[in-house]
Homo-oligomer: A and B are copies of this chain.
Amino acid sequence: MLRIAVIGTGRIGRMHAENIAAHPRAALAGVYDIHTPSAAETAEKLGVTRFDSAEALIASKDVDAILIASSTATHADLIEAAVAAGKPALCEKPIDLSLARVNACAAKIKGTSVPIMLGFVRRMDKGHAGVQAAIASGQIGDLHQVIITSRDPDMAPDAYMEVSGGIFRDMTIHDFDMARFMLGEDVTEVSATGSRLVKPGLMEKLGDYDTVTVVLKTASGKQAIINNSRRAVYGYDQRVEAFGSKGMAISENHAMTKVRLFNAEQTEAAPPLLNFFIERYDDAFAAEIGAFVDAVENGTTPPITFEDGRQALILAEAAIRSVAEGRTILTKDIG
């Protein structure tokens, strides 16, 4: 049993805590949150220890590994602390909003044998992973284009948007990782287009965008196209399409149920899509815990690494610069 403690007991942290508790080879070793009532509630509900500080949690001899689900600004510090304590960590994305901070963290933990895994949960989705497997197995031949459609059901509250780091670092970051997962080779060029269509006033004020398209290209010419919107009224739209020389594989959306309605106006109408990521990726979040436990127990590299987190942020930086400058950005010029 791998005893994993959770830092951060917001909505995502609580879900992780429950998944750890339910995993047959993991045990929930306690929780901590800067907001004590939240931690206390989770600790009581799940019948585990509430630690008084992240430091105490990391240091505890009853804790084998750490799951970091606290606010983004704390991630890099906690990763460094976990590595220092020799304890494997599974960290929610992104590592940090600042590439400089990520690079500093990378330098600090360089060469460590302590497993650090990044929480790009979508790689654990059976549908998306199935598309990647179709690529890897050669079923669709040489990969030519990847199309990632990724739209949130609704924009987060304004207060969140103000500290989100902008759409590319906050939302597209998942899609950058998905593109890298599918492409299987380094992205060399990034072209991005941003629009303000959902909440133009707020976006203008923040210098942010709510509707973006990013085109990535690898050295061999493979293309990945990401389209994002902060608001899709029909639910959380999460599709991945991989097109190659011998075919195509698509990971389709998940509707709320498998019911189809027919009447005088329409046929085959399905309900809205699952809303939101905790529902849509529930299996994937559970599988993520399993993958982390496997890596730690087997001493293998986690399937999603710190470097994956850093590379996704490089693509975000390139996209931001591409929109600002109206030109294609070479990733070698970033970071």
Interface residues of A (CB under 8 A from B): 22, 126-127, 130-131, 134, 139-142, 144-145, 147, 149, 151, 189, 191, 193, 195-198, 211, 213, 215, 217, 221-223, 225, 227, 229, 231-235, 243, 245-273, 326-328
Contacts and interface: CB of A to CB of B under 8 A. Distances in A.
A144 B263 contact: no
A247 B233 CA distance: 6
7 contacts: A127-B258, A142-B197, A144-B198, A197-B221, A197-B245, A213-B223, A251-B259
Contacts of A195: 144, 217, 221-223
Contacts of A231: 245
Contacts of A245: 197-198, 231, 233
A222 B197 contact: yes
A124 to B, nearest CB: 13
B269 A211 contact: no
A333 to B, nearest CB: 12
A274 to B, nearest CB: 11
A233 B246 contact: yes
A330 B9 CA distance: 48
A150 to B, nearest CB: 12
B233 A147 contact: no
Given A234-B248, A260-B249, A328-B327, A225 B197 contact: no
